[in-house]
Every structure is written in structure tokens, then in C-alpha cells.
């Protein structure tokens, strides 16, 4: 028999607001009867003792998982519209014509592609000048 019984502690909701808990800590008392905490980053249950939670923040696996959640500064956001380029209608038509021709005739039977290229080259599209090397 152990010398002393382990005291089961309640999860303290104020821990979520503390700086060391920075959004990874969740109250998991509804999921289990052990009054545990849950780490969203590591996806693991932790005993609801402040010392255990602080020890968990110092673990290498938790630190690596936290680094993976930090957004990269160089990566563009999906809502950022600075990367959108406006393409002229002539370029759209020529690219569509080329794509439809390849889709209809498949990549094996593109021997008549020079006819399409001659029609495209009348527009002097910069993106298709690169193709002229292959004809």
C-alpha cells in the first residue's frame, strides 16, 4: 500500500488563460472521469496537476509540435490577393484552344499541333513563343 494516496485534482480553468498554456490546453473532464487535461498539439491526455502541465511544455516533442503550428512568415495567406495576376483575354483564348486540342487528340496524336500553333502565333502571345523551339 502506498504511503500516501494520490489526490485527484480538478482542472483549473484559469490555466487556459495563462501564458504557458497558449491555446494548446483543453479541459478534458467531460471526455473522461480522471479530470485530465488535453494537449491539442500533441493529442495526449495529461494529469491535471500544474507541475505536470509545466513539465509537458518543456518536452521536446511538445516544443516541436508547437513550432509546426507557428505560421511561416514567407507563406502567403489564401485571402491575400497580391498574388493574383490578370491575364488578357487573348492569352486565355489561346491557352484554352491549346488545352482543348490536346484533350481531344490526346498527347499521343499531336502531329497536327503545328496547325494550331500557327493560328496561335498570330496573336504573338509571349507564353507560346517558348513553344516555337519545339516546332
Predicted model pTM? 0.48
pLDDT above 70: residue 128: no
pLDDT, tens only, 41-100: 888 888 888 889 999 999 999 988 888 877 666 766 777 777 677 778 877 887 788 788
Question: Mean pLDDT across the stretch 20-24?
Answer: 83
pLDDT above 80: residue 2: no
Neighbour count for residue 121 (Cβ, 10 Å): 15
What pLDDT, on the 0 to 100 scale, is given for residue 23? 79
Give the list of residues 6+ apart from residue 39 with CB closer than 8 angstroms, or none. Answer: 24, 25, 26, 45, 46, 56, 62
| Residues making up the chain, counted from first to last | 135
Give the integer Cα–Cα distance in Å for 16 and 35.
Answer: 15
Percent of the chain scored above 70 by pLDDT?
Answer: 70
Highest mean pLDDT among 2-11, 17-26, 53-62, 114-123: 53-62
HEC string for 64-108:
HHHHHHCCCCCCCCCCCCCCCCCCCHHHHHHHHHHHHHHHHHCCC
What pLDDT, on the 0 to 100 scale, is given for residue 102? 78
Amino acid at each position: 500500500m502506498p504511503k500516501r494516496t494520490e489526490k485527484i485534482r480538478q482542472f483549473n480553468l484559469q490555466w487556459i488563460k495563462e501564458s504557458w498554456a497558449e491555446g494548446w490546453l483543453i479541459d478534458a473532464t467531460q471526455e473522461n472521469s480522471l479530470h485530465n487535461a488535453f494537449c491539442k498539439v500533441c493529442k495526449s491526455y495529461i494529469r491535471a496537476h500544474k507541475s505536470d502541465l509545466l513539465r509537458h511544455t518543456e518536452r521536446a516533442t511538445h516544443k516541436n509540435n508547437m513550432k509546426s503550428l507557428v505560421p511561416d512568415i514567407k507563406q502567403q495567406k489564401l485571402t491575400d490577393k497580391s498574388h493574383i495576376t490578370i491575364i488578357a483575354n487573348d492569352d486565355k483564348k489561346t491557352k484554352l484552344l491549346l488545352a482543348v486540342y490536346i484533350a481531344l487528340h490526346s498527347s499521343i496524336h499531336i502531329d497536327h499541333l503545328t496547325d494550331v500553333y500557327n493560328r496561335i502565333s498570330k496573336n504573338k502571345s509571349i507564353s507560346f513563343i517558348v513553344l516555337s523551339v519545339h516546332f
